[in-house]
Amino acid sequence: FEIPPEYGALILEIAVDKYNQGLIEVSLALFHFLTLVNPHDPDYWFRFGLIAIENHDYPLALSAMNKTSYLAPDFIGSHIYAAFSYHKMNESKRAKQELDTAKEHLTEELSEEWKTQVQEVEQLIS
């Protein structure tokens, strides 16, 4: 079961709005729905993972970040947040592995924000 992209965009807007209202559980449920009806969209999986982190559900976040990495292998964000989640779960070896993978994806073209996030997670893990 898939929904048309324009409906997905509308649900995405609602999910982001619910997040901005502080309704994390509602936002998480909406992003989960989006990953179910459009399972090949790495953006939905990544956002779902971010909201799971916000909800302190690190195993769920890792699942979403792993799916994001599978769908978009060169996307650095999923590796950064997977490293963060592993750190929060006291799995330092796996956190370092994900951080090393994130570093492999560092390029000059990446925004300073991504580079800063890599540095922040690196300091956190150290």
Distance CA 32, CA 48 (A): 6
Give the model's confidence band at 93: pLDDT under 50 very low, under 70 low, under 90 confident, else very high: very high
Give the model's confidence band at 109: pLDDT under 50 very low, under 70 low, under 90 confident, else very high: confident
Please state the pTM of the whole predicted model: 0.91
Q: What is the DSSP letter of 66?
A: H
pLDDT score, position 45: 97
pLDDT score, position 10: 94
Q: How far is it between the farthest Cα atoms of the chain?
A: 44
Per-residue pLDDT of 40-80, as tens digits, reads 999 999 999 999 999 999 999 999 999 999 999 999 999 99
